[in-house]
């Protein structure tokens, strides 16, 4: 016991580290040296302890634990020890595709433009001019052609997303009523004990976080792609965005949206969501949101955006309770509905009627002009508290 691990073990450990990196874990060589050091403190004949040491040192995200456990089993199993060559390719571990994979399966989100997009990226001649955008501004997204969609994407990306501010607990110097004693004293020493001017401090203001919940069920299908672009643009412009898609169940896409290229983000999102264009269970999906992500996503007074046409197949009471809870846990709840503004639209589905009393704003989202208006409304979401908060009872969506 306690003998320093030999070179053979080190080589194997490094192989294991490479295998983990291929699985997407963030493992660097320095970390492997820690493992070697740690292994010298324990009895390495105990496979379990080796496992716990490696796990504690090499994993630092909860979502990576499962991949690690599988890789450890594959790599350090007796069979793998006997045949180290095949073991150094843990690509065979279940759930992981071989490194030399062919073209990835295309999700619903990717159509010909995404494939062509990469090739035609420099070809800026196809991008419509601003005057064309003017005409596009009021057109229904559902009627957009592929090139118009691309233009809309660009326009959304150019919008300024500033969802109001909130007062944090942190102090910065400024003109307020509170004295900054530390600076006052430091200055008074310089002036021989006299307070010439009293420096003051104020609470720092911070933009509010955004929580985005998008319905991508069958009835919302025509908007799904643009919604993902919208989510991506928001994430790019604003540091604290939590994004979720749902139809029959809820999928968190916050991490997928962090990709540095939009196409990568779209690909990751379309792979992550298991139920594109499925049925709609808004209430159940929101409940799932509350249970799994609520505490995390709803901290620090966020603005919640719920994008849905309100066609819910679940119980209206469930939807109402979930929406009410959502409203109570955020600063502003804004329901965006692409159907507002269509001919004779009345939000009369039973679910919507039950949920609307718990919504702060009920806004259209069917054209670029609506989206631009949303950006303005978000900017106006102030610091003020929640008093006088009422749901929108009637069916009069705000139509610009």
Q: List the one residue out of 159, 176, 167 whose CA is nearest residue 382.
A: 167
Question: Is residue 349 a contact partner of residue 312, using CB atoms and an 8 Å limit?
Answer: yes
Residue list 145-164, contact with other proteins (CB under 8 A):
none
Residue list 28-57, contact with other proteins (CB under 8 A):
31, 34, 37-38, 41-42, 48-49, 52-53, 55-57
Could you say whether residue 222 binds other proteins (CB under 8 A)?
no
Hey, which residues does 306 pair with through a beta bridge?
213, 335
Q: In this chain, which of 47, 178, 182, 313 binds other proteins, going by CB under 8 A?
A: 182
Could you say whether residue 169 binds other proteins (CB under 8 A)?
yes
**Main-chain dihedrals φ then ψ at residue 308, nearest 5 degrees:** -165, 155
Pairing of strands 200-207, 165-179: antiparallel
Q: In this chain, which of 171, 221, 238, 372 binds other proteins, going by CB under 8 A?
A: 171
- The token pair that represents 164 in the structure block: 């109001």
Could you say whether residue 287 binds other proteins (CB under 8 A)?
yes
Could you say whether residue 383 binds other proteins (CB under 8 A)?
no
Could you say whether residue 321 binds other proteins (CB under 8 A)?
yes
Closer CB to other proteins, residue 66 or residue 160? Answer: 66
Q: In this chain, which of 137, 142, 184, 272 binds other proteins, going by CB under 8 A?
A: 184
| Contact region with other proteins (CB under 8 A), list: 84-92, 110-118, 155-163, 176-184 | 176-184
The contact pattern for other proteins, residues 52-91, with x = CB under 8 A and - = no contact, is xx-xxx-xxxx--x--------------------------
Q: In this chain, which of 106, 108, 299, 393 binds other proteins, going by CB under 8 A?
A: 299
Closer CB to other proteins, residue 197 or residue 295? Answer: 295
Binding site for other proteins (CB under 8 A): 26, 31, 34, 37-38, 41-42, 48-49, 52-53, 55-57, 59-62, 65, 168-171, 181-182, 184-185, 188-189, 192-193, 287, 290-291, 294-296, 299-300, 321, 325
């Amino acid at each position: 016991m306690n003998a320093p691990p030999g070179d053979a073990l080190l080589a194997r450990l490094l192989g294991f580290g490479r295998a983990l990196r291929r699985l997407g874990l963030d493992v660097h060589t320095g970390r492997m040296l820690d493992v070697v050091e740690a292994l010298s403190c324990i009895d390495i004949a105990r496979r379990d302890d080796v496992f716990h040491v490696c796990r504690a040192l090499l994993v630092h995200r909860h979502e990576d634990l499962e991949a690690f456990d599988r890789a450890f089993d594959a790599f350090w199993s007796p069979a793998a020890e006997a045949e180290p060559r095949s073991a150094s390719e843990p690509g065979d571990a279940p759930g992981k595709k071989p490194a030399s994979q062919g073209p990835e399966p295309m999700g619903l989100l990717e159509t010909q433009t995404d494939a062509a997009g990469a090739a035609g990226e420099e070809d800026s001649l196809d991008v419509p001019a601003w005057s064309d955008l003017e005409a596009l501004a009021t057109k229904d997204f559902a009627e957009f052609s592929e090139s118009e969609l691309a233009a809309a994407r660009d326009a959304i990306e150019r919008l300024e997303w500033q969802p109001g501010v909130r007062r944090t607990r942190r102090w910065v110097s400024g003109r307020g009523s509170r004295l900054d004693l530390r600076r006052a004293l430091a200055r008074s020493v310089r002036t021989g004990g006299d307070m010439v001017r009293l420096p003051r401090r104020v609470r720092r203001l911070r933009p509010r976080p955004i929580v985005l919940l998008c319905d991508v069920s069958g009835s919302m299908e025509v908007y799904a792609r643009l919604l993902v672009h919208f989510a991506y643009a928001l994430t790019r412009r604003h540091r604290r965005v939590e994004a979720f898609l749902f139809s029959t169940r809820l999928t968190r896409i916050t991490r997928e949206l962090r990709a540095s290229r939009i196409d990568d983000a779209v690909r990751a999102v379309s792979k992550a969501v298991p139920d594109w264009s499925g049925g709609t269970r808004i209430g159940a999906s929101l409940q799932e949101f509350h249970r799994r992500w609520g505490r995390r996503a709803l901290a620090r007074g966020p603005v919640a955006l719920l994008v849905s046409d309100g066609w819910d197949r679940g119980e209206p009471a469930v939807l109402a309770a979930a929406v009410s809870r959502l409203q109570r846990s955020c600063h502003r709840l804004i329901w965006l509905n692409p159907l507002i503004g269509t001919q004779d639209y009345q939000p009369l589905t039973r679910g919507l009627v039950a949920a609307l009393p718990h919504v702060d704003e009920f806004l259209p989202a069917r054209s670029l002009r609506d989206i631009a208006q949303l950006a303005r409304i978000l900017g106006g979401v102030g610091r003020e508290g929640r008093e006088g908060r009422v749901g929108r009872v009637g069916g009069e969506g705000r139509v610009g």
